[in-house]
Amino acid sequence: MFTGIVEHLGEVAFVDKNRVGIVWENVAVELNVGDSVAVNGVCLTVVTIDGPIVEMDVVDETYDRSNLGALVAGDKVNLERPRALGERLDGHIVQGHVDTVGYVVGEAPNLWVSFPKEYAKYLVTKGSITIDGVSLTLVEVQDDRFSVAIIPHTLRVTTLGVRRVGDMVNLEFDVVAKYVEKLVSFRAS
């Protein structure tokens, strides 16, 4: 489980068909093969550590649902290690299971993101959303777009400060909302 509180900015070393390599200075030594890591909000498993470069396998499903396939060497990415049970939960419950991508339609600090309409049912004003692995609070929700307010600290320590109109971002909707929908639809049938 993640919280959506980004720990570090990493730099993409390479992306190929089935693997991504991230330069993660000073943290790679704390990781082990088999550990989970959220990269732009996508939960990946560490498969190789070579100095400061952490390599993770990526499957087609992940490329299809996220912006990882659009990354190139030199791009910055948001990184978070998972939380242990009993640790403080500063953001919200984040699984690292990206639901879809959205597109920036208004730049931070009042960030607007468009998304496929079928996901609107998971969004409520003052509810939670994860954008590129960053836990945020929804300010305004419309049928096909939403806004979040990005504080200066988050602008400095995540990729959200450099996102421009048209950029693709990973979206993970609140898992509690998804479970409630499943329970309500199951009961109704």
Domains and CATH numbers, the chain: 8-80 (2.40.30.20), 100-188 (2.40.30.20)
* Rounded CA separation 115/102 (Å): 5
The two structure tokens encoding residue 161: 């400060």
* Rounded CA separation 153/34 (Å): 31
Q: Are 22 and 11 in contact (CB under 8 A)?
A: yes
pTM over 0.85: yes
Q: pLDDT digit of tens for each residue in the chain (189 aa)?
A: 899 999 999 999 999 889 999 999 888 788 999 999 999 999 999 999 999 999 999 999 999 999 999 999 999 999 999 987 777 777 788 899 999 999 999 999 999 999 999 999 999 999 999 999 999 999 999 999 999 999 999 999 999 999 999 999 999 999 888 888 888 887 766
Q: Are 27 and 9 in contact (CB under 8 A)?
A: no
Q: State the Cα angle at 87 between 85 and 88, rounded to 5°.
A: 130
